[in-house]
Amino acid sequence: MKKLLLAASLVFSAIVLQAQDNPLWLRYPTISPDGKQIAFGYKGDIYLINSAGGQAIPLTLNEAHDMMPVWSKDGKSIAFASNRYGNFDVFLVGINGGSPTRLTFNSANDYPYDFTPDNKHVLFGSARNGTTESARFHSPRIFQNLYKVKTEDGKPVLVSAAGIENASYNRDGSLLVFEDKKGYEDGWRKHHTSSVTRDIWIMDVKANTYTQVSSFEGEDRNPVFSADDKSIYFLSEKNGNQNIFQIPSSGQKNYQQLTTFQNNPVRHLTIANDNTLCFSQNGEIYTLKNGQSKKLNVKILNDGRDNLSRTEPVMGNVSEFALSPNGKEIAFINRGEVFVTSVENGQTKQITKTPQQERMVTWSPDSKSIYYSTERGKSWDIYKSTIVQKDEPYFFAATVIKDEPIIEGVSEQYQPEISPDGKEIAYIEDRNILKVYNIKGKSSRTILPKGHNHSYSDGDWSFQWSPDGKYILTDDQKGFMSRSNLAIFKADGSGNAIYPVNSGFGEYSGQWALNGKMITWASSKDGRKSLAIQGNREMDIFGIFLDQEAYDRAAMSKADFDLLKEREDRERLTPKDTANTKAKPAKQDTSKKEFVPDFSNLGNRKVKLTINSSSLGGYALNTDASKLYYLSSFESGYDLWVTDTRSRETKVLAKLSGSPSGIEMSKDGKSLFVSNRGRLVKVESESGRITPIGITGDMVVDAAAEREYIFNHAWRQVKEKFYDPKLHGVDWAMYRETYARFLPHVNNNFDFQELLSEILGELNASHTGGRYTPMISNADETAKLGLLFDETNPGEGLKVTEVIAGGPLATKKSKVKAGHLLMAIDSESITADVDWAKYLNNKKGKNTLLSFYDPTSKNKWTETIRPVGMAEENTLMYKRWIAKMEQMVDKLSGGKVGYVHVEGMNDASFRETFDVVLGKNLEKEALIVDTRFNSGGWLHDDLNTFLSGKKYLEFAPQGNRLKGGEPNVRWTKPSCVVMNEANYSDAFIFPYIYKQNGLGKLIGMPVAGTGTAVWWERQIDPTLVFGIPMIGTIGKENRTTENLQVEPDIRVPVKYESYLSGSDTQIEVAVKEMLKTIKQ
C-alpha cells in the first residue's frame, strides 16, 4: 500500500529521504485552484510544491507508476492515474495524507482530466465501447469515452462517447473544452501540419453538441477555460514551437501568442482561479501570471530508489545462439549480453557485462574464441572474447575472460562469420557492403559492394563461407528490394559473381552442404502463397550440386545406391582381408585432391529436398546429405521434421510446438539444437529425444545504464537509418544533448518511453516514437459480457441497449433483450455506489451468474455464461460496425451499391475484401471501398490492381452471353474510396496511387503523408521498442510522399452529432456519388 507523507512529518522524512536539487523531467504539473500549490509527476510519483518554488514533498511513494494529477475544485484532493493493478485506474488522495482511494476498476486505461464544479465527480477518459446509436468506428487505439465517477466510489456515468481527450469544465459545468483525436499518429510528434493534427472543441454538455473553436492546420492541444470562461488557453504550434495561445471561447480565429519558447514544446497546461497558468517546458515547471513566465526552483526529496540494479535469472530469454565446433558449449545472447553454457551440465558463464548491446555471436573454428558484434563505442564493432587461463579449456568454466576489439572504426561493422581456417572474418559494413577482414594483416577487402543489398532490419542478410574458405555464399538483392537471390563470390575478392539459381521467387537462408559440393536454400516457388504479395508463404528446401558425381550419387534409387555402397565397401578392404597372399600392397596416394566446383549446367543438378511445402523455420542437412532436418508448422507451433532425401520418407522427429528458430547440428550429426520459445533444447537426430539445455545463473541488470544505452542507440539508429539522410533538416546533435540531460531523472520505462517519443518526435516524421509494454503479473482483466448498456443512468442496474451479435448472450436460449436490466453479477448487486467492473475481474472463460430484470413484465431471472476477453469483444464490435455500414449503404442505394471495409493492409484483410467484393457484392453496379481507420501494412499494389479491372473478354456458351468475363478475379465496375484522417502508412499510399491511376474518386477527409516503411526495433529490454521510418516512397511529384497530404476529390467532414446519432455523412456522399456514376 502506498505510504503518504504528511507535511507534519517532513522532519522525519528528511532523515529517510534523499535531497535532490534541480531535478528535471518534471511531468504533468497542475496548479491548485487557489494558485498556491502545484502537483506534478517525478520518477513515477506525485509531488507537491509551493507555486513559488522550493522543497517538493512526495504525496505518493509506490512501486507503481503514478501520473497525471488533477486538483479538485476546492483544492483538498488530487485525482491521479496509477497502474497498481496492471492498467491505469483513477485514484483519489487528500493533499494532507491518507490512503489513496481507487475510483475505477475497468482494465481499460482510465485517465483523469478534471473534477465537476461541485467536486462530487472526477471526469476521466477511457477506451470503451460506444453507444448503440453511434456509428463511430470502434477503435480503442484512437477513441476514448468520457465518464464521470463519484469521489466516494461509484458507478461510472457516461458523459460523451464522441472520442475526446484532455477535457475540462467551465465554471458552471455546462461546457467542456477538449482536444480531438483523429488518428493513430504518435502523440509526441512535433511540427507536422496535416489533417490528423488535433483541434480544440467545445461540448455543450446538456445539448450534447460540439463546436470547433481552433482552425490551425497543425497541433492545437490541451485547452482550459479562463477564469471568466470568455477565453480558452491552449497549446499550439501555430508559429513554430509549441507555445501557449489564447483565443475567445466564442471560436474567433484571432490567436494570441502568450509565450515564445524555442526548441522544446510547452506541455501540460493547467490554470488557477486567478488565471495563473502552469505548464512544463524543457523538463521543468513554469507559471505564467500577468504575462510574465517564471521557472520554478524545485528541490525534491525522494526515497533513494533511483536507478537501482536488480538480479534476474538467465533462462527462457535466448534471442540467438551458436553451438561451438567441438559440440561442448553453446554461446547465446540474453538481454544483450553474451553467455556460454555447457551442453551437458548446464553450467553457465556470463562472458560480457556491459549496458551496451552484444549480438550476432559466433565461434572460431577451434572453439577457443567467441566473436560478436557490440555497440560499446560510437558504432557497431566486432569483438573477440578468449579464455585467459590456458589450463581452462571451456568458457562455461573459465575464471577470467579477455575481451578485445578486432574490427572497429567509424563505420557500422557487424555480423562476423569466421573463415574455416580462422584467419579471416566476413562481415557487413554500413548495412550495405559485404567485406572480409584479414586478422593478421588487419585489412579489409570488399566482396559485395554498396548498391546491391539494403539490410532492412539488422540480421536479415545471410552469408556463409564455403567449407574450404575459398568462396562466400551470400544474399544479393541486385539493387532491388522485392527479392533476394543467392550469389557465390570468390573470397579473395576476384572474379565475378555466380548466381546459381536466379529464381523470380528468390532464394533465402543459403547454406553450403556436402563439404562444399552442394548449396541449399529455401524458396516459395512451389508453395502456396498468400493472396497478397506480402504475407505468409509456404516454403521448400532446394539444393543444387556443384559436382556431377555428387549429383549422380544423390539421384540413384535406394536399391542402386545400396549396391554402390556395397561395392565401395569391398574396394576399401585391405589386401590381407581380400586374399591370402604375401604380395606387397600398392603404395596408397595420401594426397587430398582439391575440389573445384562445377558451375556449368547447374539447372540440371537442382533437386527439391522437402516433399511438402510448409511454413518453415531453420533447417540443417547432415554431412552426407542423406537427412534433412527442418522446423515446420503444420499444426500448433513449429515441430522438428526429418526427411530421408533418398527414400523421401518424412516424419515428425520431435514435437516441439515451438517457434521458428534456427537449427545447429553437431559435427557428428547425432544432435540438433534449437531455441524453443527462448529456451534451448537438444534433439537426438535418430530417436528424436528432447533434452532441455540447462542454463544456470543470474545476471545483474542496471536499468539506468540500459536506458542510457537505448537512448544513445536510438539516436544513432536514426542517424544511420532514417530515410532522409538530412534528417528533415533537424539539428540532431543538438537534440541529443537536449534530451540526454534528462536521463538521470528517469527511473522507469513509462517516463523513458515518453522521453524517446519526445526526441524522435522532433524529426516530424510518421512511424516514430517509443513503445512500452510492461510485463505485469496478476494484472486485472475485466471480462466482457457482449452487451451494450445505457451508461448515462447513474442508478441501480445496467439497462441493456443491445446484445452484441456473436457474444456470449447472443444465443437461442438467452432471454436477454434491449430494455432489460442487468441487476447483479455473481450475486453482487449493481448499485450507484460501486463500479460494477470489479465484479468481472478475471472472469474471462469462467461460469458467471447474471441476474436480469424486465421492467415491462416485472420478470426476474438468471443466466449463466462464460464472458469473453477484451480482444474478443473488440472483434465483435468491429464486425458490428461493418454490418451497420453495409446496411446503411444497401438502404441508401436501394441495393445497387456494394460496400467493403479494408481493415488493414495485409493478406487477411485482402482475403476478406476479395471474399466480400466478388461474393455478395458481385452483382452490385458499383462499389464503395472504405479504408477509414486502416493503420497500414503493405497492400497498395494488390488493392489497386484488384480494383483496376477492365473487361476484355466475355463468355458465351451456345451463344448465350454470361454476366461475367475476364478478368474474373478483379473488380471491373465503378468504385470510389472513402478515407479519413485515420488512414495511416500504406493506407495513405493506397488512396494516393488509386487517385494517381485514375481508378475513381476519393471521398472523405485528407490523409496525412505517412508513406514510409518502418522498423519497430525491439530493445535489449524486451518491453521497449521504437520506430524508425527507413524507406521513403517517391511518387509522381518526384519527392518523398512523407508529409505529402493526399486530398479527397470530395471533402466530407463528419460532425460528432452525425455519427453519435447513427448517420455517416461520408458514406452518404459516397453512395450518392456512386449512384450518379451508375446513371452515367
Q: Using CA of residue 617, residue 620, residue 625, residue 628, what is the dihedral sign?
A: negative
Which class for 348: exposed (0-12), middle (13-18), buried (19 or more C-beta within 10 A)? buried
In angstroms, the CA 13 to CA 18 distance is 9
Q: Using CA of residue 313, residue 315, residue 319, residue 324, what is the dihedral sign?
A: positive
Query: Active-site residue among 666, 940, 985, 1073?
Result: 985
CB 55 within 8 A of CB 47: no
Q: How many CB atoms lie under 10 A from the CB of residue 459? A: 15
CB 910 within 8 A of CB 943: yes
Beta strands, E only, 887-1023: 897-901, 926-930, 953-954, 965-966, 975-979, 1001-1004, 1012-1018
CA distances 907 to 530, 535, 936, 962, Å, are: 6, 6, 12, 30
In angstroms, the CA 502 to CA 516 distance is 19
Beta strands, E only, 964-1051: 965-966, 975-979, 1001-1004, 1012-1018, 1024-1032, 1050-1051
On the question of a cis peptide bond just before residue 967, with omega within 30 degrees of 0, the verdict is: yes
Return the half-sphere exposure (C-beta side, CA atoms, 13 A cut-off) of residue 715. 22
In angstroms, the CA 938 to CA 538 distance is 19
CB 365 within 8 A of CB 467: no
Query: Active-site residue among 121, 767, 820, 901?
Result: 767
Catalytic: 1042? yes
Which class for 13: exposed (0-12), middle (13-18), buried (19 or more C-beta within 10 A)? middle
Cell numbers representing residue 456 in the block: 532492412
Q: Which one, of 52, 96, 134, 63, lies nearest residue 792 by Cα? A: 134
Helical pair 749-761 and 732-740, crossing angle rounded to 10 deg:
160
Chain-centroid distance, C-alpha 160: 30
Query: What does DSSP say about strands 54-58 and 298-302: parallel, antiparallel, or unpaired?
Result: parallel
In angstroms, the CA 133 to CA 789 distance is 11
Q: Which one, of 766, 770, 768, 724, lies nearest residue 1010 by Cα? A: 766
Who's near 971: CB < 8 A, 6+ residues apart?
A: 917, 918, 927, 946, 947, 949
Q: Name the helix (H) or strand (E) containing 916.
A: helix 907-917
Q: What does DSSP assign to residue 585? A: P
Helix-then-strand count for the chain, H and E: 13, 71
CB 851 within 8 A of CB 862: yes
In angstroms, the CA 240 to CA 192 distance is 10
Query: Active-site residue among 165, 358, 1042, 1073?
Result: 1042
Cell numbers representing residue 308 in the block: 537501482
Q: Is 506 left (phi over 0), alpha (psi -120 to 50) or beta?
A: left
Query: What does DSSP say about strands 975-979 and 1001-1004: parallel, antiparallel, or unpaired?
Result: parallel
In angstroms, the CA 700 to CA 355 distance is 10
CA distances 348 to 31, 182, 336, 339, Å, are: 54, 51, 16, 7
CB 162 within 8 A of CB 743: no
The DSSP string of 598-626 is --TTGGGGEEE--SS-BEEEEEEE-TTS-
Q: What does DSSP assign to residue 8? A: G
**Which residues form the catalytic set?**
767, 985, 1042
